[in-house]
Homo-oligomer: A and B are copies of this chain.
Amino acid sequence: MKIPVVRKVLEVNETMAEQNKKLFDRHRVLVLNLMSSPGAGKTALLERTLSDLGTEMNMAVIEGDVQTTNDAQRIAATGVPVVQINTDQACHLDSSMVQEALGQLDLEGLDVLFIENVGNLVCPAAFDLGEDLKITLLSVPEGDDKPLKYPSMFVRSQLMILNKLDLLPYLEFSLVQATQGAQTVNPDLEVISVSARTGENLEAWYEWLRSRLKTKRKA
């Protein structure tokens, strides 16, 4: 009895994700679904990105959290439009939540919409939101073994951002091991290593973003 219902939930989610996707495509907005464990640095990466690229592209953010509007407040401080979704007990965003949030957001003239998912390295992978691309952040303190232990997120993502490079000197973490693990489960996965805190190598991430935005505009 359990499995059919789960499938039904996923089917409903797919339908609404397609509706979201059509809306995004009509407005030519590049939509990125950011996923990771709690505390891997999704919000910190967004804060840097929004202020560094603020004059270059028009961006907005949908914030997903179990509770609180703390992250939305951090994003709002950068001057960018932000909508908060509180999922209460749910361990991931779904496409209906995003659809509801879109009612509060003007897509006209927008270049990039970031959707920051609930901090969770398991659940968000199964739920498309209508996004163009999925990005999984992995941070150095979490350990280089995580892509093999939690493969789904890495399988379904196009980009892995390895964050908190500034902590490498204090931890046993192999960039090679983490990258190999991730590319074992997903050979097409791109990898960019950064420190959102110090700004190290963020330019590589910005270049990736610019190139994806260009592709979206041409589509």
Contact = CB atoms under 8 A, between A and B. Distances in A.
A133 interface: no
A47 to B, nearest CB: 13
A139 B9 CA distance: 34
Interface string A119-148: 111110010000000000001011101101
Identical copies in the complex: 2
A118 interface: yes
Interface of A: 1-2, 5, 8-9, 37-39, 65-68, 70-71, 89, 91, 118-123, 126, 139, 141-143, 145-146, 148-152, 164, 166-167, 170-171
Contact of A122 (B1, B71, B91): B91
A121 B120 CA distance: 7
B91 A146 contact: no
B121 A119 contact: yes
Contacts of A67: 148-151
A67 B150 CA distance: 7
A38 B170 contact: no
Nearest to A122: B91
Nearest to A4: B5
Contacts of A152: 66, 89
A65 B121 contact: no
Contacts of A151: 66-67
B9 A142 contact: no
